[in-house]
Amino acid sequence: MKQFNVPVFYRSNLISYIKSHRKQLDKLKKDFTPTLLDFGPLQIFLARHFGFCYGVENAIEIAFKTIETHKGKRIFLLSEMIHNPQVNADLKAAGVQFLQDNLGNQLIPFEELKKEDIVLIPAFGTTLDIEKILQEKGIETAQYNTTCPFVEKVWNRSEQIAQKGYTIIIHGKPKHEETRATFSHAAANIATVIINDMNEAVILGDFIAGKRKMTDFYQLFKGQYSDGFDVEKDLQKIGVVNQTTQLATDTQAIADYLKQVMLETYALTPATLHQRFADTRDTLCYATNDNQAAVIGMLSTPADAAIVIGGYKSSNTSHLVELCEQKLPTYFIDGADKLVNAEEIIHCNWQTKALTTIRSFLPKHQSPHRILITSGASCPDSIVEAVIEKLVSFYPNIRPMEAVLSDLQ
Helices 85-93 and 54-69: angle between axes, nearest 10 degrees = 10
Q: Go through 192-213 and write b for each residue having 16 or more CB atoms within 10 A of its CB, e for each that does not.
A: bbbbbeeebbebbbbbbeeebe
Q: Which of 358, 328, 365 is nearest to 343 (CA)?
A: 358
φ, ψ of residue 387 to 5 degrees: the values are -65, -45
Q: Which of 57, 131, 177, 178 is catalytic?
A: 178
| % the chain with pLDDT above 90 | 89
Per-residue model confidence as pLDDT tens digits over 36-77? 999 999 999 999 999 998 889 999 999 999 999 999 999 999
CA–CA gap between residue 340 and residue 342 (Å, rounded): 7
116 in catalytic set: no
Mean pLDDT to the nearest integer, 348-367: 95
Per-residue model confidence as pLDDT tens digits over 10-46? 999 999 999 999 999 998 888 999 999 999 999 999 9
Mean pLDDT to the nearest integer, 304-313: 97
Residue 245's pLDDT is 87
Return the half-sphere exposure (C-beta side, CA atoms, 13 A cut-off) of residue 395.
24
Fold of domain 149-284:
Cobalt-precorrin-4 Transmethylase; domain 1 (3.40.1010)
Residue 266's pLDDT is 97
Tally the residues of the chain. 409
Residue 65's pLDDT is 95
Mean pLDDT of the chain: 94
Asked if residue 232 lies in contact with residue 256, where contact means CB atoms within 8 angstroms, the answer is no
Residue 282's pLDDT is 63
Is the pLDDT at 1 greater than 70? The verdict is: no
Show the DSSP H helices in 188-242 as ranges: 198-208, 217-220, 231-234
Q: Is domain 8-53+287-406 annotated with CATH 3.40.1010.20?
A: yes
Amino acid code (one letter) for 309: I
* Higher local confidence (pLDDT), 209 or 248: 209
The confidence band for 288, taking pLDDT boundaries of 50, 70 and 90, is: confident
CA–CA gap between residue 196 and residue 230 (Å, rounded): 20
* CATH of region 54-144, choose from 3.40.50.11270, 3.40.50.300, 3.40.800.10, 3.40.1830.10: 3.40.50.11270
Per-residue model confidence as pLDDT tens digits over 150-188? 999 999 999 999 999 999 999 999 999 999 999 999 999
Number of H helices, E strands in the chain: 14, 14
φ, ψ of residue 94 to 5 degrees: the values are -85, 0
Residue 5's pLDDT is 86
φ, ψ of residue 143 to 5 degrees: the values are -80, -5
CA–CA gap between residue 317 and residue 374 (Å, rounded): 9
The confidence band for 88, taking pLDDT boundaries of 50, 70 and 90, is: very high
Mean pLDDT to the nearest integer, 92-118: 95
Residue 389's pLDDT is 98
- Is residue 22 left, alpha or beta, with left meaning phi > 0 and alpha meaning psi from -120 to 50? alpha
CA–CA gap between residue 323 and residue 303 (Å, rounded): 15
Strand order in the sheet with 192-195: 192-195, 167-171, 238-242, 277-278
| Window from 88-92, 105-109, 283-287 with minimum mean pLDDT | 283-287
* Higher local confidence (pLDDT), 285 or 261: 261
CA–CA gap between residue 372 and residue 150 (Å, rounded): 28
Domains 54-144 and 149-284 share a fold: no
Domain ranges of the chain: 8-53+287-406, 54-144, 149-284
